[in-house]
C-alpha cells in the first residue's frame, strides 16, 4: 500500500529515523518538534501542505500504518538473517550440499530448503514406528 500522508512523503532516511525513535519509545510531541526543525521537512510542508507543520496526529496515523509496515519488514529481515545463519551452520555440518551462489535468490531458497529439511529430519527422528496414531504423527 502506498501511503500519502505527511510522514510518508518525507525522505526515506528521515522516516527510518522516525521509526527507530518510535521503536525506542520516543513520544509523538518530541518527534514532531524535532521533525519541524529539519530543513527538508519545513520545505516539504511549505510545498505540499500549505506550511502546516507535522503534528502528533500525523505521527499517530503513521504509527498505525507506515510504522507497522516497517516493523513487519524488520521482522521479515530478521527471519531471513536467522535462516541464513542457521543454513550456514547446517551447510557446514553437511559439506556435500553446498549452497548455490550462481542464481540470484537461489541462495535464500537453498537456505530455506536446508533449514526446512533439517527440521523435518528432526521431526522424523522424534516419531517412532508403532508409537501412537500414524496420522497424528504425520500431522505433527
pTM of the model: 0.64
Which residue from 117, 112, 118, 111 is spatially nearest to 88, judged by alpha carbons? 111
pLDDT-based confidence at residue 44 (cuts at 50, 70, 90): very high
Domain boundary assignment for the chain = 12-64, 70-139
pLDDT, tens only, 102-127: 555 567 677 777 767 777 766 666 66
Lookup: cell for 136: 497424528
pLDDT-based confidence at residue 30 (cuts at 50, 70, 90): very high
Amino acid at each position: 500500500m502506498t501511503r500519502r500522508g505527511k510522514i510518508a512523503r518525507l525522505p526515506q532516511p528521515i522516516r527510518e529515523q522516525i521509526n527507530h525513535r518510535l521503536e525506542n519509545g520516543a513520544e509523538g510531541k518530541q518527534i514532531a518538534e524535532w521533525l519541524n526543525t529539519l530543513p527538508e521537512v519545513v520545505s516539504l510542508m511549505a510545498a505540499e501542505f500549505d506550511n502546516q507543520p507535522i503534528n502528533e496526529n500525523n505521527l499517530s496515523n503513521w504509527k498505525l500504518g507506515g510504522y507497522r509496515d516497517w516493523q513487519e519488514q524488520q521482522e521479515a529481515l530478521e527471519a531471513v538473517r536467522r535462516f541464513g545463519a542457521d543454513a550456514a551452520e547446517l551447510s557446514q555440518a553437511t559439506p556435500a550440499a553446498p549452497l548455490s551462489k550462481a542464481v540470484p535468490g537461489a541462495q535464500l531458497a537453498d537456505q530455506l530448503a536446508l533449514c526446512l529439511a533439517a527440521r523435518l529430519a528432526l521431526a522424523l527422528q522424534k516419531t517412532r514406528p508403532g508409537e501412537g496414531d500414524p496420522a497424528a504423527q504425520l500431522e505433527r
